[in-house]
């Protein structure tokens, strides 16, 4: 069973100027784990996903989704995908 | 990582296993697999020399010397694989995070399956040898048992080294407050 979970962790982390190491230390994970989540090679547990969302002060669905995320620019400028 | 507090030993091992000074040695899949192949070859060589020492019952001095010489690169290869896996098998469970714990379980399960197959093959070989040469199982039982024990011990390391993934791309996010030139 390997459901693909999409995430925008890399974008949000870059926006907040947080390194993988800092995020990993804050949520009790290894920095490689953060990298593998960003690359889509590892789906975090609910516990870890909630901790990451809490770290950024965002709802978990803002970071993780079963559906692919729309580009942020589309969401900001309200463009509809073709 | 679990909520259990890490001991000083845990922290020192965590630091040691995540020391990236030798990262170039295991940066690519080819290098990691080369390290696993070297480790496997050296383990076989050491096992062969020790078996010779056991069966030949003579000339123990040169076999001890060769074993000692082979042990040095064997230890280096072990360190390279442990570095590549970030101490997946060396660290205590509480020093691993959820991904590493899951990966360790997968590695141990796969190593167990491979070892089971090897044990079955060894048992069949001994039985066949017993059928053709009556004394063979008796003569080879002890070295084979030791060989299987060694393989059982190091198989998780080989599997872990083989499965280790590339490091995620460089993290160039600047920490808040850091001086940017």
DSSP string of chain A?
A: -----EE-HHHHHHHTT--HHHHHHHHT--HHHHHHHHTTS-PPPHHHHHHHHHHHT--HHHHEESSPPPPHHHHHHTPPP-
The verdict on a CB contact (< 8 Å) between B173 and A45 is no
Owner of token pair 């993290």: B171
The verdict on a CB contact (< 8 Å) between B173 and A28 is no
Using CA atoms, how far apart are residues A64 and A52, in angstroms rounded to an integer?
10
Instruction: Please give the residue that has the higher pLDDT: either A70 or B115.
Output: B115
Domain residue spans in chain A?
Answer: 6-77
Question: Which of residues 2 through 21 in chain A touch B, CB cutoff 8 A?
Answer: 13-14, 17-21
Instruction: Please give the residue that has the higher pLDDT: either A62 or B55.
Output: A62
What tokens does B168 get?
A: 């995620």
Of B1, B168, B176, the CB nearest to A32: B168
State ipTM: 0.82
Torsion of CA B118, B120, B124, B125, to 10 degrees: 20
Using CA atoms, how far apart are residues A39 and A49, in angstroms rounded to an integer?
15
Chain A residues closer than 8 Å to B99 by CB: 29-30, 32-33, 36, 42, 44
- Search chain B and give the residue with CA nearest A28: B1
The verdict on a CB contact (< 8 Å) between B175 and A29 is no
User: Would you say B168 and A24 are in contact if contact means Cβ atoms under 8 Å apart?
Assistant: no
Instruction: For Cα atoms A32, A2, B89, give the angle at the middle one, nearest 5 degrees.
Output: 40
Looking at residue B181, its pLDDT comes to 33
- The architecture of the domain spanning A6-77 is Orthogonal Bundle (1.10)
| pLDDT band at B176; cut points 50, 70, 90 | very low
Using CA atoms, how far apart are residues B161 and B85, in angstroms rounded to an integer?
6
What tokens does B69 get?
A: 């010489």
Owner of token pair 């080989």: B158
What tokens does B52 get?
A: 């010779």
Of B97, B168, B174, the CB nearest to A35: B168
Segment B105-115, tens digit of pLDDT = 999 999 999 99
Instruction: Please give the residue that has the higher pLDDT: either B178 or A57.
Output: A57
């Amino acid at each position: 069973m390997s459901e693909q979970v999409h995430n925008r962790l890399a974008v949000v982390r870059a926006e907040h100027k947080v390194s993988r190491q800092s995020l990993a230390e804050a949520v009790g994970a290894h920095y490689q784990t953060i990298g593998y989540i960003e690359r889509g090679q590892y789906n975090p547990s609910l516990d870890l996903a909630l901790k990451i969302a809490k770290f950024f002060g965002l709802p978990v669905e803002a970071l993780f989704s079963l559906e692919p995320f729309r580009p942020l620019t589309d969401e900001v400028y309200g463009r509809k995908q073709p | 990582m679990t909520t259990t507090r890490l001991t000083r030993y845990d922290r020192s091992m965590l630091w040691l296993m995540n020391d990236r000074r030798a990262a170039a040695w295991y940066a690519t899949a080819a290098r990691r697999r080369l390290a696993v192949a070297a480790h496997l070859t050296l383990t076989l060589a050491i096992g062969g020399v020790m078996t010779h020492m056991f069966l030949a019952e003579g000339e123990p001095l040169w076999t001890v010397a060769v074993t000692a010489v082979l042990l040095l690169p064997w230890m280096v290869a072990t360190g390279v694989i442990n570095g590549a896996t970030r101490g997946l098998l060396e660290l205590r469970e509480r020093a691993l995070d959820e991904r590493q714990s899951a990966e360790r379980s997968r590695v141990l399960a796969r190593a167990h399956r491979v070892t089971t197959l090897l044990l079955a093959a060894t048992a069949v070989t001994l039985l066949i040898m017993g059928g053709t040469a009556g004394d063979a199982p008796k003569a080879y039982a002890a070295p084979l048992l030791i060989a299987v024990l060694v393989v059982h011990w190091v198989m998780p390391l080989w599997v872990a080294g083989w499965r280790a993934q590339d490091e995620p791309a460089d993290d160039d996010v600047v920490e808040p407050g850091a001086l940017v030139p």
